[in-house]
Amino acid sequence: MTIAVLRFPGTNNENDVLRALSLINGANPILVPSRKGLAGLEEADAIVIPGGFSYGDYLRAGAVASVETITEGVRDLAEDGKPVLGICNGFQILTEMGLLPGVLLPNKSARFICKWVYLKVSDHPTMFTEGMEGSIIRVPIAHAEGNYYCSEEERESLKDELRIPFQYCNASGESGLAYNPNGSLDNIAGIINQKGNVLGMMPHPERASRAVLGSTDGLAILENFVRATK
Amino acid sequence: MITKEEMEHARTVLDREPTETELGMLDVLWSEHCSYKSSKRWFYLFKTKDDSVALGIGEGAGLVDIGDGYFAGVAMESHNHPSQIDPYNGAATGVGGIIRDVISQGCKAVGLMNCLRFGHPSKPHNAYLLENVVRGISEYGNSVGIPVVGGELEFDDSYTDNCLVNVVCVGWVKPELVVRSSAKTPGHYLVMFGSTTGRDGIAGVSFASETFSDDEEENRGAVQIGDPLSKKIVIDTLQELIEERLLDGLQDFGGGGMTSAAGELAKAGGTGVEIDLDKVPLREVDIKPSEIIISESQERMLAVVAPENLDRVVLLLEKNGTPYGIIGKVTNDGHYTAKWYGEVQAHLPINLLVEGFPVPERIEGKVPAQTESMAWFKEPENYKKILLDMLGSVNLCDRSWVYSQYDQHVQSNTVVDLGENSGVLEFPNGRKLAFTSDCNSFWCLLDPQQGTANSACESLRNLVAMGATPIFIADCLNFGNPERPESYCQFVESVRGLGRFSNDFEIPIVGGNVSLYNEAEIEGEIKRINPTPQIMVAGIFEKGFTPVRRNLVSPWANIFLIGDTLPELNGSEFQRITTGQVKGFPPKYRPEVEKRSMRVIKEAHQKGLIRSCNNVGRGGLAVALMKMALRSEYGFKLNLDYIPGAANSLAQKLYSETSGRYLAEVTESNQADFLEIVEKHESSVCELGLTNKEPVADFGAFSLTMDEAREVFSNGLKQFME
């Protein structure tokens, strides 16, 4: 299964994602520089948009990348129901493209923040969280704009349609101000689209994919992503 | 600026007046920053050679063999002066510069560190400098995608008018892909790429080689502006050029700009260079050739390319959309020739331009003598209050306000995060390397030689505590004006201290930088920084070894103190906090004692006997132990009656900063084996007490809850920054 890992100028997590995916049986991750345009996605069965600072985050995080030609290909794949995962800057790009609702505002602290966080995985099954439902996982975050916000209407539909697979919490699964690193609405760390095949998340599953790094919880998300790529 | 004597020398060698362009070139390359004219004469004191050293001091980065077909690369540098004037851009370009040094050797850059010094953060301007320096490092390093794995921060009023920003970059390279910074073959092309050239950073090195005046604003144009997006593209492009082995030499544009980059390539290769300044891609139209040649615009690299590779190089540069220019050729005439539309602007012998300066006389004054007297010492009335004051003080408290702003995990190699004794990265050969850095500037002020050697011991202990074996050193030596004897002696004594340490412990020094003129003249008064020799040491772990953290991990384990405790409180944090000053003879450098305790910890780690371990350093035993407990869910209960060594009062035992000591958590079942190792290496030891399920720090004579401690510890710095 060919998984296209996109690299815009300024993306800097592409190698981490490629490395983590290469640990998973059946995955065939390939690097696709955005300048290749639609041709770069011809073989793709799924897409990861990794983190980083595409186009230096100039204008607004993800804003410039979201109007590149290659994003049309991302949109087509998403409409076909193929799995699309946006991590960190990738999540920001997906919201800028309108594939996911809402925006990612600057962190409440107004500073970049890097730390390990705990996430509560929703009880409701999604293609990305199979076997993890209801669990508490530990993954790192690293971002300056991760403060998720959306309209009241969008918020209601995210909730009603059970489209919030990941929320910030503490080690025992309790949520609260102290455990929300960026001020995001409803402690949201990740959301999916209505079809359920597009996931955007601020935490970095690829950075929690080997025991030596302190956690393998993120690998489970990537394994589900690969399993869903059929 | 170039001195009268240097000007005379240049005239004599050239037998004519230098041109305007030539003068600018000599000025930057003969600056202290580029030439090391006051410092280089002492480097013979360092241990620099070792079988593992593949490339020592002298090029962009030092390279050390770490086995299995990999070299580790390291470079360390200061960006002090620019950061004082423009903290955001100064710090960001400091990071940018140090990354270039490492990648110009063919390395992949995998880790960053930073060592910072400011005046007390309760003054708004100092907090402003810290805030923006951290933001500069964070936004640049995070964008480029290199994790920060270590660092260090100290506050003292001597840094108020001259903050210090020292940066380290580490990387790795396979031996067959190493690129050298030399231009050996006449006829090869000089290709610059990465970014355009503008007026930022004009003669930045000359500005960094003078003391500050009252009017700092006038130097703003000497500060460079960083561009992390271009840097990321340079890194990606360079990786392709290196993997295809298309480069015969490479140098980054750092201090001294094109003058230094091309001049050093020619010097190293024993050749000359001819450059057409009109071929340089520019970002400003009216810039003069004399400015182009010394501009320090960021994100630029200079490659030496053989004619048969030129087309391929150009293709890759165009594909990646990076600005480039084929600006000249390597020659065999031993000269640096610079032309502007065919007209010669400069024609200088390489041997004059690079290192051809007349060696200046420098006078070593005398370091003021200190006494052993502890007449100032008074046993505190309220032990608990003093300990809380110490934990909340800016030089001991929690630094997470700073390091949570750095991406520590990008590249997915980070095994141990910031906040531990050292940061640990996994290298591609599967080996884990630890990185740490230390400098106690108060010890160095009181006795530069002993203070430097002892600061280096702290770095050493940081590594040993985790289970790593030290393998190389990089340093950044920050001092005042070398033209003043009372300042120069601090520098020379410190170099002697570092030389002793490197030889005593047989750890090679493979990279470094000297930053002098770190003083300001404010209203006629000279404000000089504390001597600040930053010493970064890297260590390597045995295959498969899991680094030992410092957080306590089990209840009812024994806590052992290894090493004697002497009444050494002069120069300590306790002295600073209780009396508001430091004086007297600081804790002594005792290499033999240090080695004995090091051997104990090393062997105990090899046998897996220690659950958690900490170096006893700044703040003494009490602070070291509190830091172990603060990172855990446990407390402890101690009996301090039997501590070996001459320290006799409770406060002396708690706060002495005698070196050569460690704290180790050892479970009951491993106790006998552990004590046997201590005896074997003729070190001293005592059982301080037990870890405890209850989160209370019980020192016997007094106690406090871990919650109280955590509150002051975590607010120490944060209270001034938020």
What angle is formed at CA B624 by the lines to CA B602 and CA B569, rounded to 5 degrees?
105
The Cα B515–Cα B82 span in angstroms is 12
Structure confidence at residue B218 as a pLDDT band (50, 70, 90): low
Structure tokens at B385: 């209050």
Is B352 contained in some domain?
yes
- The helix (run of H) or strand (run of E) holding residue B434 is strand B432-438
Q: Is the pLDDT of residue B364 over 80?
A: yes
Instruction: Please say if the pLDDT value at position A61 is more than 90.
Output: no
What pLDDT sits at residue A59?
77
- Catalytic residue selected from A14, A88, A150, A223: A88
User: Is A211 in the B-facing interface, judged by CB distances under 8 Å?
Assistant: no
- Of chain B, the end-to-end C-alpha distance in Å amounts to 41
Q: What is the average per-residue pLDDT within B160-182? A: 96
Residue type, B229: L
What is the amino acid identity at position B521?
E
Separation between Cα atoms, residue B136 and residue B93, nearest integer Å: 8
Helix, strand, coil percentages in chain B from 3-state DSSP, rounded to 5: 40, 25, 40
Tens of pLDDT, residue by residue over B338-359, are: 999 999 999 999 999 999 999 9
User: The pTM is what?
Assistant: 0.94
Rounded to 5, what percent of chain A is helix, strand, coil? 35, 25, 40
Query: Is the confidence at residue A68, as pLDDT, over 80?
Result: yes
Does the annotation mark A43 as catalytic?
Answer: no
Q: What is the pLDDT of residue B521?
A: 86
Pick from A19, A53, A57: which is nearest to B412 by CB? A19
pLDDT of residue B161: 94
Contacts of A107 in chain B (CB under 8 A): none
Q: Angle at the Cα of A67 (from A66 to A70), degrees rounded to 5?
A: 85
Residue A62: the pLDDT is: 85
Mutation target among B146, B409, B420, B631 for the A interface, most CBs of A within 10 A:
B409
Q: Tell me which residue of B602, B601, B470 sits closest to B50, measured CA to CA.
A: B470
Q: Note the pLDDT tens digit of each residue in A164-185.
A: 999 999 999 999 999 999 999 9
Q: Report the distance separating Cα B155 and Cα B120, nearest Å.
A: 5
For chain A, the first-to-last Cα distance in angstroms comes to: 7
Averaged pLDDT, B455-471? 97
Q: Which of A10, A19, A213 sits opposite B143 (nearest CB)?
A: A10
Does a structural domain hold residue B314?
Answer: yes
Per-residue exposure over B173-182, b if at least 16 CB sit within 10 Å of its own CB, e if not: bbeebbbbbb
CATH code for position A143: 3.40.50.880
Question: Closest-CA residue in chain A for B411?
Answer: A16
**Are the C-beta atoms of B248 and B185 separated by less than 8 Å?**
yes
Alpha carbons B345 and B150: distance in angstroms, whole number: 45
Residue with tokens 């936004």: B139
Distant-in-sequence, close-in-space partners of B323: CB < 8 Å, separation ≥ 6: B193, B194, B195, B196, B281
pLDDT beyond 80 at B225: no
What CATH code is carried by the domain that includes residue B192?
Answer: 3.90.650.10
Helices (H), B77-169: 80-85, 87-103, 124-144
**According to the model, what pLDDT value does residue B352 have?**
96
**Domain extent for B329:** 1-11+22-35+179-359
**A57 at the B interface (CB within 8 A)?**
yes
pLDDT at B69 over 90: yes
Which member of A12, A15, A111 has the closest CB to residue B232? A12
DSSP string computed for B500-554 = HHHHHTT--EEEEEEE---EEEETTEEEEPPPEEEEEEEEEPPTTPPPP-SS---
Q: pLDDT tens across A29-43, in order? A: 999 999 899 999 999
The number of angstroms, rounded, from the C-alpha of B236 to the middle of its chain's C-alpha atoms is 25
Number of domains forming the structure of chain A = 1
* Whole-number pLDDT of residue B722: 86
Q: What is the pLDDT, as a whole number, of residue B227?
A: 79
C-alpha B565, offset from chain centre: 29
User: What is the rounded distance in angstroms from the CA atom of residue B87 to the CA atom of residue A83?
Assistant: 44
Q: What is the pLDDT of residue B390?
A: 97
Output phi, psi for B681, to 5 deg: -95, 10
Q: What is the mean pLDDT of residues B445-454?
A: 97
Task: Report percent pLDDT > 90 for chain B.
Answer: 89
Among A5-9, B216-220, B360-364, B565-569, whose mean pLDDT is lowest?
A: B216-220
DSSP codes, B670-682: GHHHHHHHHHHTT
Single-letter amino acid code for the residue at B508? P
Residues B48/B58, Cβ–Cβ less than 8 Å: no
Are the Cβ atoms of B409 and A142 closer than 8 angstroms? yes
Q: Of B284, B273, B255, B278, whose CA–CA distance to B196 is shortest? A: B284
Domain containing A173 equals 2-228
Q: What is the pLDDT of residues A129-146, one digit of tens each?
A: 999 999 999 999 999 999
Kindly state whether residue B321 falls inside one of the protein's structural domains: yes
Give CA–CA dist B504/B506, Å, rounded: 6
According to the model, what pLDDT value does residue A230 have? 74
Q: Which residue's entry shows tokens 């101000």?
A: A177
Distance CA B687, CA A3 (A): 57
Greatest extent of chain A over all pairs of C-alpha atoms, in Å: 46
> What residues of A are in contact with residue B321 (Cβ under 8 Å)?
9, 35
B693 located within any domain: no
HSE on the CB side for B245, CA within 13 Å?
5
Query: Is residue B408 one of the residues assigned to a domain?
Result: no
Q: Is the pLDDT of residue B375 over 90?
A: yes
Decide if pLDDT at B214 tops 70: no
Mean pLDDT of chain B: 94
Assign B718 a pLDDT band (cuts: 50, 70, 90): very high
* pLDDT average, residue stretch B107-123: 97
Q: Counting one residue from A and one from B, how many pairs have CB atoms under 8 Å apart?
A: 82
Tokens linked to B177? 């892909």
The alpha carbon of A170 is separated from its chain's Cα centroid by a whole number of angstroms, namely 20
Determine the Cα–Cα distance for residues B306 and B69; give it in Å rounded to an integer: 27
User: Which one from B9, B79, B81, B335 is the annotated catalytic residue?
Assistant: B79
pLDDT on residue A64:
86
- Domain assignment present for residue B189? The answer is yes
Residue B304 maps to a domain: yes
Per-residue model confidence (pLDDT) at position B201: 66
Instruction: Indicate whether B219 belongs to any domain.
Output: yes
Q: Is A174 a catalytic residue?
A: no
Residue B215: what pLDDT?
56
If one counts the domains in chain B, the total is 1
